Structure 1
Amino acid sequence: MQSTRVTFPDGSTTGEGEVLLVDRDASVVVVDVTPFHPEDHTWPDQPGDVGSLVSGDVRATVSEAVMAAVSDEGVLAVGGDIPVKRGGEGWTWLVGHRIEGGIPEQVAVGAPVTLEVDAGRRAALSRGHTACHLASLALDAVLADLWRKQIGTDPLGNPDFEGRANQTSRIHADGSVDEYRLGKSLRKAGFDSEGFAASLAEREERINEQLASWVASAAASCVDVEGPRIIDRRSWRCELPEGEVGFLCGGTHVHSLAEFASITVSLDLGDPQLLVMTTRATPALG
C-alpha cells in the first residue's frame, strides 16, 4: 500500500478515488487519493474536513478526516492511537475517513468512490488558519522591543515570540485561539513580561492596525508542496508588503487576503503566566 495522495493543498474539495482499506470496526475508509484534509495527530491545530463519500447510489457521511497509518506488520492505527510521529519509519501514512453510522456494504476494497468535502466549512477553516499565522507575525512584530537578548527570528526578521512561547493553537471556523506561556524560562530568555502586561491594550491596538494593513494589501497566499503524499512537506506562503513570508504548515489556507473583510485579535492576560490571543476573521462579501 502506498501513502495517500492529497489534493487539498491547492484548495480542492472534490475528487475521485479507489478504496484501498476498510476497517468496519473503526468505521474508517482509506482511499488512494483524497481532497480531505485530516487532523494531524501530533499537532491537532486544524480540525479534519467533513463531507461525503459516494459509491454508486449510496452516499455516506464523513464525520471527520484523520491521520491513519499501517505498520510494516500490517497493524492499522488511527488518529491519537498512532504511536509515532508523522513520517516515522516502519509505517505507511494514510488519510482515514470516519464514516458516520457504519460503512455501507457497497464501500469495499477496490470500489471507485467520489469524495466531497463540505466546502463552506473548509473555506472558514482556511480563513481561520491564515488569520492565525498573520496574527502570530503581527504579535511578534509588536513585541519586538520587549526582548533584552537576541533570540531566533520569525520570517519577517522579528524576535520569534511565537516560536518561543506558543504552547497550544486551535483553529476554528473564521478564527483561532492561541496560548503562550509567559513563565520563568521566557524571562530568562530576555522577555520583559512586566513591560508587556503594562502595555497590553496599546499592543493589541497596534497588532490590529498591522492586520488591517495586511488585509488591505490583498496579498497572495498559497500552500507550497514538495510532493503529493500526505507526509510530504507543505509550507504556507504569503506575499506581504514587507516581503514574502512562509513556514512549514500542514493545514489549508486562503488564496488571497482579499478573502477577508478584516482580521482582529484580542489579548487576555487574566493569568499573568498565560497570554491568550483570540483571532477573529470576517470574510469578505461576495
Structure 2
Amino acid sequence: MFQSDFLRKFRILLVLVRRDYALQYAGSALGLTWMFLQNLSLVLIYTIVFYFLGIRTQGEDPLAYFAYVLSGLLFWVPLQEYLIRGTGILTDNRQLIKRSPLGPEIFLWIPFIQFLLHWAITAVPILAFLLWAGKLGGIGLPISFLCVFCTGLFVACLQSYLARINIILRDISPLVRLMTQFLFWGLPILYESKGILGKLNLLNPLFYPLETFRSFLLSGYESKAAFTDFLPFLILFLAIFFLSRARLNQIVLDHL
C-alpha cells in the first residue's frame, strides 16, 4: 500500500517536473538544451581562465588546480540553481496549488528533482575531464552522487522554509541571490581552504558537504572539514524544516 502510494506520487511529481520545464522554456527553440549549453559555457569559461591562462595556480600544477576548481563548480552550480529556483516554486505554481488536492508539499520537491538532473548534466564534461586527467577517484561517481543527493536533502530543509516565506513576503528572490553570493565566496571553490579563509569556511554550512564531495570525487584528496563542525548546522536546518512545516503551512495556504 505504501509502495503503491509512493509510486503514484512520484509519477505525479515527474509530471510536475516536466510541466515546470515546459513553462520555463516555453517559446524557446532549444528548450531544455539551453540549460546544458549554459552549464557547458560556464565550464568552458573556467577552463580558459584557470587551465589555459593558468590564473591563480601560483606555480602549482595547473592540471591539479583546475581539477580542484571543476570539482567545486560541479558541487556549487546546480546547488545555486536549486536555491534560487526553489525559493519561487510555490509562488510560480500558486494557481495550480489552489486548484489541486495535492497540497504545496509535493511542489517543493520539483526543484530537488531538477537539481539532481542539472548535476547529472553538468557532471558529463567535468567527469570526462577528470577521467582524462587521472584525477577521478576509483568509486568517485556513485559515492559523489550520493553525497550530492544528501546535500540536496540538507539544503531542502532550508529551501522549504524559504519557499514558504516567499509566499508570505511576496518575493525574497533578490535576498536569496545575495545569500548565494556569500555562500559561494565562503566556500573554497576557487581557492584553497587555509589560513584565515580556512577559519571562515567553518562558518559556511556547505563547507563539510563540499569537502566530503571532493574527497570522494578527486583521487588522493583529503577533506579539511570535520563532522563536529557541521553538526550544529545539521541540527539547525532540521529544526527550521520541522518548525516551518508545523507553523507556516496554514499561513501559506491562507496567502495563496
TM above 0.5, yes or no, is no
Q: Would you tell me which structure has more strand in proportion to its own residues? A: 1
TM-score computed with the length of structure 2 as normaliser: 0.23
TM-score computed with the length of structure 1 as normaliser: 0.22
Q: Would you tell me which structure has more helix in proportion to its own residues? A: 2
Whose Rg is larger? Answer: 1
The higher-RCO structure (CA 8 Å, 6+ apart) is 2
